[in-house]
Amino acid sequence: MAAQLRVRGVSKSFGAVAAVRDVSFDLHPGEAHALVGENGAGKSTIVKMLAGVHRPDAGTLELDGTALALTGPADAKAAGIAVIYQEPTLFPDLSVAENIAMGRQPLGRFNTIDRAAMVAQATRLFTRLGVAIDPNRPARGLSIADQQLVEIAKALSVDARVVVMDEPTAALTGVEVERLFAVARSLRDDGAALLFISHRFEEITALCQRVTIMRDGKHVSTDLLEDTSVDEMVRRMVGRDLDALFPKQDVTPGATVLKVEGLTRDPVFKDISFEVRAGEIVALAGLVGSGRSEVVQSIFGVDPRDGGTVQVAGKTLKPKNPKQAMAAGVALVPEDRRQQGLVMELSIERNVTLPRSRSLSQLGFLTGSSERRSAKEWTERLKTKYGRLSDEVGTLSGGNQQKVVLAKWLATGPRVLIVDEPTRGIDVGTKAEVHRLMSSLAAEGVAVLMVSSELPEVLGMADRVLVMREGRLVAELSRAEATEESVMFAAMGQEATV
Amino acid sequence: MTAVELTAPKRSSLDFVLRARELGIIIALALLVAVTVISNPRFLSGQSVRDILLNTAILAVLAVGQAVVVITRNIDLSVGSVLGLSAFTVGTLLQNNPGLPVVLALLIGAAVGGVCGVLNGVLVRYGKVPALVVTLGTLYVVRGVTYFWAGGSQINADELPPGFLSFGNASLLGVPMLVLIALVALVVTAVVLRNYRVGRELYAMGSSPQAAQLAGIPTGRRTVGAFLVSGALAGVAGVLFAARFGTIDAAAGTGMELNVVAAVVVGGVAVFGGSGTVWGAALGALLLTTIGSALAVLEINQFWQQAIVGGLILLAIGADRLVAVRVAAGLKKRGSHVG
C-alpha cells in the first residue's frame, strides 16, 4: 500500500530546545496511526507541522509522493490535511453551519454566500456522521464533544485525506468517545489516513492499526499494533537512561505536617486525600491535565474547592485564602514562573523579599538595606548568578529565575514547601542545584510536596509517589515500589503487569 | 430590517438576539420621540427632523466604519482627527479650485482617510501593538498635523464654492444628499459584512483570533482592510462635515471618536468583537443624535445629555451581558441537538 503522507526526517527547535529531532513515519490511506509518547516527547510539535502552523527546520513532508511546503494553515487545508485539536477551535459567535463552511462558503448570485446551501451542506454532513446538531445555532454553548463533531464535519467538508486528531478524547465521556470512534472508523474505512494522538492505550488498541512511539523529540519505533504490546509500548516511551541520579538524603520522617482529606473541585479533581510528614518529599505524578497543579493551587488557596479539608500542623486552612496558608507556613512555587512566580520588571531583591515586605518593613516603610541583606543571603545560598541585586529579574536566565522564585519562598521559612514543576525548562546543572536544595530542606524538617512530569526527577527525589489520573488519586507507591513503568502504568490507567 | 435578512431561509437564535437588540433601540427611539412630541409638537416638524437626520448622517458614517473595526476585536479612536484632516484638506482644495466636482471631493476625502486607516492597520497588525494604543497615538498625530498645517486659520463658508455648500443642503426625492450618502455606506457595508466571505471572515477574526488563524484566514490583510474602511469612511464624513457646516478649522471633529464608540456600543456591537451589525451602529448614532435634539427641545440642561449617554452605554452593555447569559443558559439547557 502506497503511503499517503510521509514525514521525512523532520526537525524543529524552539530557541535552544530541540522539540523534534529527525522524525520519520508514514501514514497510509485507510489506516489509523497512533502517535504516543510522554509529555514533551514532541507529539504536539509534529501535529503543528502537519497543520502548517510550524515549519520544519529540516526534513520534508510528502503527500502522494510530492513534497509539501506548508507556509500556513491555509496551505495544509488546501492540501487536504485537517487537524482536530484537543481544544476545538470554533468561532463562538457564528452559526455551526458557518463554522463548518468558513472560507469556503457556497456562493450564489453576485458571489454572495448561499446560506440555504450552507445549511444544507452542514445538515448533510451531520446526517453522514449520524449526529443531530442544529446547523443554525451558534457554536457558543456546544459541549466539547459536539464541538469536536463540528470539527470533524469541517474535515469531511473539505474531503480531507489526512485527518490528525490531537488527544480528541481527553475531555470526553465514554459514550461520547464511542460516538467519536464510530465516526473515526468510518472516515478511515472511506480511505482517509488518520493520525491519532492519545494517552489511553485502550483507545489506541480499539482504533489504530499502527503505532509510532516518540521519546524526547526522537522517533523510537513504528510497528503494526498487532506486533507489539502495551507493556512494550510503555517501556519504549519511558526507556531512557537513568544516568542523572538525584541526591535525596535519607531522612526519618517526623510528624504529619500537611494533611489533605477528601479535597474536591468538580470536575477537575475529586476526593483527594494524603499526608506529607516533616522531612518527607512526596511527589505528585501523572499526565499533564490529570489535575495535579489544580490540587496544589487549591491547597494553597489560590483556586477554590468544593469540599474537603486541608490541615497544616493540625490547623485547618480556610478555602480561597492564600494569606492564611502563607501565615501557616505553606509556600507554593508555581509552575509558570513568568506568569505566577515573579514580577519580571522588578529587581531581584524586590522579588525575593516580596512575600515578606511586611515583616521586613520598619514602621510601615520598606528600607532598602534590610531588603538587600535578606536577598543577598538567600541568593547566595542558592548560588544564583546575577550582575547586581538591583537588576530586573527578567534579565536572568530561566534557571536563575527559578532560583529567585525558590529564594523568595524559602526566605519565608516554610514548613510546607509545594513546588510545581520545579525544574521545567532549566539546564542540567541548575536542576541538580535545585534538587540538592530540596533535599537539604527536607533534611531540615520541611515537608515537601512536588508536582513533576519528569519521571527521573520523581523517582530520584521522592520518598513516596502519589499518582493522579483524570482528577483522582489512583496509586500511592513507596520509594521501593516506584519505577518508571509502575508510575506510567498507573498514570495511564493500565495494570502493572511488568 | 433588510430584505436580505427577511428572505433568509431560517432564523437562527443568533439572528434573533441581534434583531431583538436593534428592536430595543427602535423602541427606545420611539419612546423618546413620543415623550418629546407630547411636550413640544414642533419636534416632529420637517425642519427639526431634517436637522436630526443631517446630524445623524455624519455620525452614522463614522459609526459604520467603527463597527467594522470593532467587529474584528479592534477599535479606531483616530476617526475624529481623521475627519478633521479630511475636512481641512478638502476645504483647502475647494478654496483654491472652486470648480472641483463634489464626487471628486468625496473621493479625495476617502483617500486621505484611507491612508490614515492603512497606517493604523499596519501599526496594529505588524507592530503588534493593541489598536487602542495605536489609534490613541494617531488621534494626536493626525490632529497635530492638521494644526500644524492650518495654524490658526479657518476656512469660512464664503470661501467655499456655492455648489459645494448647496450639496450640503440638497435633497433627492425629499431625502437630504448627506443622508443618502450615509445610507449607501450603510447598506453596502451591511451587505458585504453579511453576505460576502470577506465580511464573515471579519466576524470570525473577532470571534476567535486564534481559530481564525488556524482556519487560514489572512488575518493581517483583513485587519488592515477593516482599518482602511474605517479611515476612508471617516474621510468621507469629513467632506460631509465641511459641506454641512461650511466652517472648518483645525479642531473640526475633536472628541467625536467618543460619540462614535458610544453609538457603536449602544447599537449592540460587542466590544470584544464577533457580533453586532452596522444597522445597530447606525441606529445607535440616530438614537444619540435624537437624544441631543430632544433634550434641547425639552429645555433640559446640556449637561444631562452626557450623563444620559453615559447611562445608555452602561445600560446597553448591561443588557448585552444579560442577554448573553440568558442565551448561553438557554443553549446549554436545550442541548445542542435538534428536537
Reported as a single tens digit per residue, the pLDDT across A195-242 is 999 877 888 988 999 999 998 888 999 999 899 888 888 888 876 544
Task: Report how many helices (DSSP H) and strands (DSSP E) chain B contains, helices first.
Answer: 14, 4
What are the CA-CA distances from residue A19 to residues A45, A61, A196, B209, B234 (Å)? 7, 17, 19, 26, 48
pLDDT higher than 70, residue B8: no
Can you give the pLDDT at residue A286? 86
Among partner residues A73, A83, A113, which is closest to B200 by beta-carbon distance? A113
A82 and B CB contact within 8 Å: no
Task: List beta partners, residue A21.
Answer: A218
Can you give the pLDDT at residue B336? 45
A118-137: average pLDDT: 90
d(CA A65, CA A22): 19
Domains of chain A: 5-90+142-238 (3.40.50.300), 256-492 (3.40.50.300)
B199-203: average pLDDT: 95
Please tell me which residue of chain B has the smallest CA distance to A105: B197
d(CA A248, CA A436): 7
In a domain, B16, yes or no: no
**What would the grid cell of residue A257 be?**
505536617
d(CA B176, CA A248): 85
Can you give the pLDDT at residue B70? 96
pTM: 0.74
Dump the DSSP string for A394-425: GGS-HHHHHHHHHHHHHTT--SEEEEESTTTT
Is the torsion defined by CA of B3, B4, B8, B11 positive or negative?
A: negative
Identify the weakest region by mean pLDDT among A43-47, A409-413, A477-481, B174-178.
Answer: A409-413
Q: Residue A185: count other Cβ atoms within 10 Å of its Cβ.
A: 14
CB-CB under 8 Å, B217 with A93: no
Can you give the pLDDT at residue A242? 43
In a domain, B192, yes or no: yes
Q: Are B325 and B278 in contact (CB under 8 A)?
A: no
pLDDT in tens, A368-392: 677 777 778 878 877 777 777 888 8
Can you give the pLDDT at residue A413? 83
Among partner residues B13, B217, B275, which is closest to A137 by beta-carbon distance? B13
B61-87: average pLDDT: 96
CATH number of the domain to which B227 belongs:
1.10.3470
For an interface test with A, which of B6, B12, B187 has the most A Cβ atoms less than 10 Å from its Cβ?
Answer: B12
In a domain, B32, yes or no: no
Number of domains in chain B: 1
pLDDT higher than 90, residue B185: yes
Residue length of chain B: 339
**Percent composition of chain A: helix, strand, coil (DSSP 3-state, to 5):** 35, 25, 35
A-B C-beta contacts closer than 8 Å: 112
In a domain, B33, yes or no: no
| Burial readout A98-127 (b: 16 or more C-beta within 10 A, e: otherwise) | bbbbbbebeeeeeebbbbebbbebbbebbe
Q: Minimal Cα–Cα distance from B201 to chain A, Å? A: 7
Q: Are A98 and A143 in contact (CB under 8 A)?
A: no
Burial (Cβ within 10 Å: 0-12, 13-18, ≥19) of residue A301: buried
d(CA A285, CA A459): 10
Q: Are A262 and A272 in contact (CB under 8 A)?
A: yes
In a domain, B338, yes or no: no
A268-272: average pLDDT: 91
Among partner residues A53, A93, A116, which is closest to B9 by beta-carbon distance? A116
The residue among A86, A6, A84, A4 whose CA lies nearest residue A51 is A84
State the residue range of the domain holding B102. Answer: 58-325
B167-174: average pLDDT: 85
Can you give the pLDDT at residue B7? 34
**Which residues on chain B place their C-beta less than 8 Å from a C-beta of chain A?**
8-14, 191, 195-197, 200-201, 203-204, 206-208, 210-218, 270, 274-275, 327-328, 331-332, 336-339
Q: Residue B138: count other Cβ atoms within 10 Å of its Cβ.
A: 25
| Chain B residues touching A133 at Cβ < 8 A | 336-338
Q: Which residue has the higher pLDDT, A98 or A372?
A: A98
